[in-house]
Amino acid sequence: MSDAPSGPAVPPRGLLVVGDVVTDVVARHRGPLAPATDTAAEIRTVPGGAGANVACWAARSGCADVRVLGRVGRDALAWHERLLRQADVRPLLVADPGAPTATVVSLVDTATAERTFLTDSGAVLRISPADWDPAFLDGVGRLHLSGYLFFADASRALALTACRSALKAGIPVSLDPASAGFLAELGTERFLAAADGVEALLPNADEARLLSGVAGPEGAAAALSRRFPLVAVTLGAAGALVAVGGEVVARVAAPAPDTAAVDSTGAGDAFTGAFLAALLAGAGPVEAAGAGCRAGARAVTVVGGRPPLRD
pLDDT tens per residue across span 155-211: 999 999 999 999 999 999 999 998 888 898 999 999 999 999 999 999 999 999 999
Active site residue 176: no
Residue 1 lies in a domain: no
Torsion over CA: 99, 264, 258, 234 (sign) = negative
Query: Whose CA is closest to 58, among 22, 90, 96?
Result: 90
Residue 221 lies in a domain: yes
CATH number at residue 239: 3.40.1190.20
Residue 305 lies in a domain: no
Confidence of residue 1 (pLDDT cuts 50, 70, 90): very low
In b/e form, how buried is each residue of 36-72, taking b as 16+ CB within 10 angstroms? eeeeeeeeeebbbbbbbbbbbbbbbbebebbbbbbbb
Torsion over CA: 111, 208, 66, 149 (sign) = negative
Residue 207 lies in a domain: yes
HSE, CB side, 13 Å, CA atoms: give it for residue 139. Answer: 7
User: CA 56 to CA 166: how far, in whole Å?
Assistant: 21
Q: Supply the pLDDT for residue 22.
A: 95
Range of the domain at 78: 14-21+48-101+124-299
The model's pLDDT over 71-99, given as tens digits with 9 standing for 90+, comes to 999 989 999 999 999 999 999 999 999 99
Residue 190 lies in a domain: yes
The model's pLDDT over 206-246, given as tens digits with 9 standing for 90+, comes to 999 999 999 999 999 999 999 999 999 999 889 999 999 99
Q: Supply the pLDDT for residue 261.
A: 72
Beta bridge mates, 120: 103
Q: CA 137: distance to chain centroid?
A: 18
Residue 8 lies in a domain: no
Domain total in the chain:
1
Question: Which amino acid belongs to residue 199?
Answer: E
Residue 142 lies in a domain: yes
Q: Supply the pLDDT for residue 2.
A: 47
Q: Supply the pLDDT for residue 43.
A: 93
User: Which of 20, 131, 263, 269 is an active site residue?
Assistant: 269
Q: Supply the pLDDT for residue 72.
A: 97
Residue 94 lies in a domain: yes
Beta bridge mates, 143: 16, 173
The model's pLDDT over 10-28, given as tens digits with 9 standing for 90+, comes to 677 899 999 999 999 989 8
Confidence of residue 279 (pLDDT cuts 50, 70, 90): very high
